Chain A
Amino acid sequence: MKVLAIFAAASLTGVLPSIDRAPKFQFAGSDQLAFQITQGAHADVFAAASPKYPEQLYSQGLCSKPAAFATNTVVLIMPSANPAHIRSVYDLKGHGIKLVIGAKGVPIGDYTRKLLAKLRLSSALKNVVSEEDDVKLVVAKVALGEADAGFVYRTDVKSVGNRVLRIAVPAAGQPTVRYELCIPTTSQHSKLAAAFVREVLSNRGRTALRTAGFGLP
């Protein structure tokens, strides 16, 4: 029996299995997954939270031409008690705030830095107390109440529901978050993999993504 191995961004943890529960999934930071694929890991589909890594693999001849399948937006979350009394992203410059973001190279980390730069808020980086290796770790630190705020994807808020507050990022700062997937050349089940990709891009897949809060390209 052939079982597909799907390497997917951590932010896709909830949604992909709802489209197809058959494959085995590995969820992690997109950068780490891309690195594993360059090291020869057997992945049949690579679904990343940014175009950067699929395009890189494609240019190295390590995967098929990437296809965009979802979009997302970055939001700021706080523990529901909101201990630092944050009302907007501009409050992040304040003194002594514990801000958690993604590490450099991790898509959410790169988006966050871009966003802060656009809003001329880079000085808020002095308040960063931890740089996490994927977005789920950022969510966890905030949901536990250890951090005062963190930048995550809109879709991540669902899983922690009432334990966090969410505020939108001003449109001027919002980066374009685009998800792309491709089929690594090392895949031994490329036909099945292509079928999985079609399913994600199908109406059913799009509905599932929309239900989970993703945008569509």
Chain B
Amino acid sequence: MRLLFGAAAAVALTFLALPVVAIFLRVSPTTLVHELSDPVARDALVVSLRTSALAQALVVGLGTPTAYLLATRRFRGRTVLLTLVELPLVLPPAVAGIGLLAAFGRTGLLSTSIPFTQLAVVLAIAFVSAPFFVRTAVASFEGLDPTLIAAARTLGAGPWRVFARVALPLAASGLGAGLALSFARGLGEFGATIMFAGSLQRVTQTLSLAIYAEFARNFDVALAMGALLVAFSFILLLVVKWLSFGWTSPFRSAPSSSA
């Protein structure tokens, strides 16, 4: 049994690691830096960072109060709301794209002129990545010791002070982990963006879109951008682990979760 499971694990880990390793074997660090100076890559990086930063600001700014309410209030329809928040998590990106067009498209429900703008990219990223943040945030707020909240109230703290001075600082590491997850998901966003925002260098072409656009034309640049995204995502996931479990070396055994 040990042998069998070991073999299965070896196959699985090799399978998961190989594409990642292959990217880095194909581009040496010097070519990576060189290829990333390609205008397409540079512009895509700027677009990605800008739109991701804005989208995540939106997600945290609106998601935190939402998560706090969902975690602390009990009301009819709460489960439905929670499910609604989580829905984009399992929606195919193409459906997200269609939905955003149907809502914000020129001929959509709100008939805006958002499509093809950087704001469209921001909305697409926010839409698909928000559930990662909100879910983690709800769990963090729900995990708070209710006695600490009660203690704050007996000390004269009203709802706002309880939130700002007790709930927020205590949930901060969970919120940080949620943000890192959301950020990582947002960087990889492709389907909803290409449908809702289109793809235009310097405006709406994010790293993911640029990789797709370039892979037939200039494989090395696509590869270099891929490597960059892998590195970003890896760092973000480490941040998640660090915030969730406290810092231990990532190469030592992780503390077992008791969940």
- Are chains A and B touching in the complex at the 8 Å CB cutoff? yes
Do B105 and A133 touch across chains, with their CB atoms under 8 A apart?
A: no
Number of A-B residue pairs having CB atoms within 8 Å of each other in the complex: 57
Interface size on A, residues (CB 8 A): 24
Q: Which of B115, B199, B216, B219 contacts A132 (CB 8 A)?
A: B199
With A and B bound together, what is the CA distance between A93 and B72 in angstroms? 56
Do A146 and B199 touch across chains, with their CB atoms under 8 A apart?
A: no
- Complex contacts, A132 vs chain B, CB 8 Å: 198-199
Chief secondary structure at chain B's binding surface: loop
Do B107 and A145 touch across chains, with their CB atoms under 8 A apart?
A: yes
- Complex contacts, A35 vs chain B, CB 8 Å: 215-216, 219
With A and B bound together, what is the CA distance between A70 and B219 in angstroms? 30
Q: Which of A105, A131, A146 contacts B101 (CB 8 A)?
A: A146
Do A146 and B201 touch across chains, with their CB atoms under 8 A apart?
A: no
Q: Is B213 positioned at the interface, with any CB of A under 8 Å from its CB?
A: yes
Chief secondary structure at chain A's binding surface: mixed
Do B217 and A146 touch across chains, with their CB atoms under 8 A apart?
A: no
In the complex, how many angstroms separate the beta carbon of A160 from the nearest chain B beta carbon? 14
Do A145 and B105 touch across chains, with their CB atoms under 8 A apart?
A: yes
- Complex contacts, A42 vs chain B, CB 8 Å: none
Q: Is A92 positioned at the interface, with any CB of B under 8 Å from its CB?
A: no
With A and B bound together, what is the CA distance between A211 and B215 in angstroms? 35
In the complex, how many angstroms separate the beta carbon of B43 from the nearest chain A beta carbon? 13
Do A103 and B198 touch across chains, with their CB atoms under 8 A apart?
A: no
Do B101 and A103 touch across chains, with their CB atoms under 8 A apart?
A: no
The 5 tightest CB contacts between A and B, nearest first, are A130-B198, A129-B116, A35-B216, A145-B107, A32-B216
Seen from chain B, the residues whose Cβ lies within 8 Å of a Cβ on chain A are 101, 105-107, 115-116, 194, 197-201, 203-205, 212-213, 215-217, 219
